[in-house]
C-alpha cells in the first residue's frame, strides 16, 4: 500500500519506475542509491506492507544537518518530476513466506499508478553462470513482450545481450528438457518478470553477474549501463558522467578499526 508524504496523491502517469530486486551483493539497491542521490530526488511517499522486514533510520541522502534526522523506512518512493522518473528503493529483505504476496502488491501498484515502464535492477551469482553466460560482459537484460514492442529497437541498437535460457539438466543433449529462465541469487527477479509478462506490464530487468563482497564497483557498472538506455544524466561536454555517492555509504562496511586495538 502506497502512502504519500503530502496530503495530495502524486501522479506517476507516464513516469519511468526504477526499482531494485533484493539480490546477491545488493547491487540493485546500491545503484538505486546512486540515482536518488545524483538526481537529488524528492521523497513522494513510502510502501507500507508486512512483506518486508521492518526498518527505520536516519535520512540516507542527507545534505545538511536540518534533514539528517528525518525518519526513513524500508521501502520509499522518490521522484524527479522534471524528467518523469521515480525510484522505489527497497532497503530490507522480503519475508521469505510473503514473496508471492509482495510481487502481487507491486504489480497491482504499478498498474494502478500508470507508469509507462518499469525497470528492475538486479544481480545473479557469477559462479552459477552457464558456459554461454561466461562470454562477453557480465550484464544481461530481460524485457516483457509489452515493452519489447516499444523499446526493442533501442535495446538492439545498444547491443545489449538478453539473459540466456539454460538447460535444467546441463550436459544432456537429447532435447527432452526445455531451456528455462534461471536467475540464482536474484530474489524476486524471475517471479516479478513472469508476473509482469502475464499481466502485460511494460517491464525490463537489467542485471549483473557478481559475487558477494565490496559491490560498489558493480553498482557503478550497472547504473552506467542503465544510463546508456535511459539517459538519466548526459553531460558529454563535461567528460564522464558523475554519480553522487550518498552520505550513508560512509558506514557501508561499519566504522573504522578502533586504535585501542593496537
| End-to-end Cα distance, the chain | 50
Here the CATH number for the domain that contains residue 21 is 3.40.50.10900
DSSP state of 188: T
Among residues 55, 27, 61, which one has the least CA distance to residue 43? 61
**Cell matching residue 182:** 534461471
**What is the per-residue pLDDT across 7-64, written as a single tens digit (0 to 9) for each?**
788 889 999 999 999 999 999 999 999 999 999 999 999 999 999 999 998 888 887 7
Asked whether residue 207 is domain-assigned, the answer is yes
**What is the per-residue pLDDT across 91-128, written as a single tens digit (0 to 9) for each?**
999 998 999 999 999 999 999 999 999 999 999 999 99
Asked whether residue 31 is domain-assigned, the answer is yes
**Cell matching residue 62:** 542527507
Asked whether residue 51 is domain-assigned, the answer is yes
Give the domain extent around 147.
11-169+177-261
What does the radius of gyration of the chain's CA atoms come to, in whole angstroms?
Answer: 19
Asked whether residue 4 is domain-assigned, the answer is no
Asked whether residue 36 is domain-assigned, the answer is yes
Asked whether residue 97 is domain-assigned, the answer is yes
Asked whether residue 6 is domain-assigned, the answer is no
Asked whether residue 165 is domain-assigned, the answer is yes
**What is the per-residue pLDDT across 126-178, written as a single tens digit (0 to 9) for each?**
999 888 888 888 999 999 999 999 998 898 899 999 998 887 766 665 555 67
Tally the domains of the chain. Answer: 1
Distance in angstroms (rounded) separating the CA atoms of residues 135 and 132? 6
DSSP E strands, the chain:
2-4, 16-20, 42-47, 56-57, 72-73, 75-80, 85-90, 117-125, 139-143, 203-210
Q: Considering the entire predicted model, what is its pTM? A: 0.90
Sheet of strand 2-4: strand arrangement: 2-4, 42-47, 75-80, 85-90, 16-20, 117-125, 203-210, 139-143
Better-scored residue on pLDDT, 260 or 115: 115
Phi, psi torsion values for 135, nearest 5 degrees: -85, 145
Amino acid at each position: 500500500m502506497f502512502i504519500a508524504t503530502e496530503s495530495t496523491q502524486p501522479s506517476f502517469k507516464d513516469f519511468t519506475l526504477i526499482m531494485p530486486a533484493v539480490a546477491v551483493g545488493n547491487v540493485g539497491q546500491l545503484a538505486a542509491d546512486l540515482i536518488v542521490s545524483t538526481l537529488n530526488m524528492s521523497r513522494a511517499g513510502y510502501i507500507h506492507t508486512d512483506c518486508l522486514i521492518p526498518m527505520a533510520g536516519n535520512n540516507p541522502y542527507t545534505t545538511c544537518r536540518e534533514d539528517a534526522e528525518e525518519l526513513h523506512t524500508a521501502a520509499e518512493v522518490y521522484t524527479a518530476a522534471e524528467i518523469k522518473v521515480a525510484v522505489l528503493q527497497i532497503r530490507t529483505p522480503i519475508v521469505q513466506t510473503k514473496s508471492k504476496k509482495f510481487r502481487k502488491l507491486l504489480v497491482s501498484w504499478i498498474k494502478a499508478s500508470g507508469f509507462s515502464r518499469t525497470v528492475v535492477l538486479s544481480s545473479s551469482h557469477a559462479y552459477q553462470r552457464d558456459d554461454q553466460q561466461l562470454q562477453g560482459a557480465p550484464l544481461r537484460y530481460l524485457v516483457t513482450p509489452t515493452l519489447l514492442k516499444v523499446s526493442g529497437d533501442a535495446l538492439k541498437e545498444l547491443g545489449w545481450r538478453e539473459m540466456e535460457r539454460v538447460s535444467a539438466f546441463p550436459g544432456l543433449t537429447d532435447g527432452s528438457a526445455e531451456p528455462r529462465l534461471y536467475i540464482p541469487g536474484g530474489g524476486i527477479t524471475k517471479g516479478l518478470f513472469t508476473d509482469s509478462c502475464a499481466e502485460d506490464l511494460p517491464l525490463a530487468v537489467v542485471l549483473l553477474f557478481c559475487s558477494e563482497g565490496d559491490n560498489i564497483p558493480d553498482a557503478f557498472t550497472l547504473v552506467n549501463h542503465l544510463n546508456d538506455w535511459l539517459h538519466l544524466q548526459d553531460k558529454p561536454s563535461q567528460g564522464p558522467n558523475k554519480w553522487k555517492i550518498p552520505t550513508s555509504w560512509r558506514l557501508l562496511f561499519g566504522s573504522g578499526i578502533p586504535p585501542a586495538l593496537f
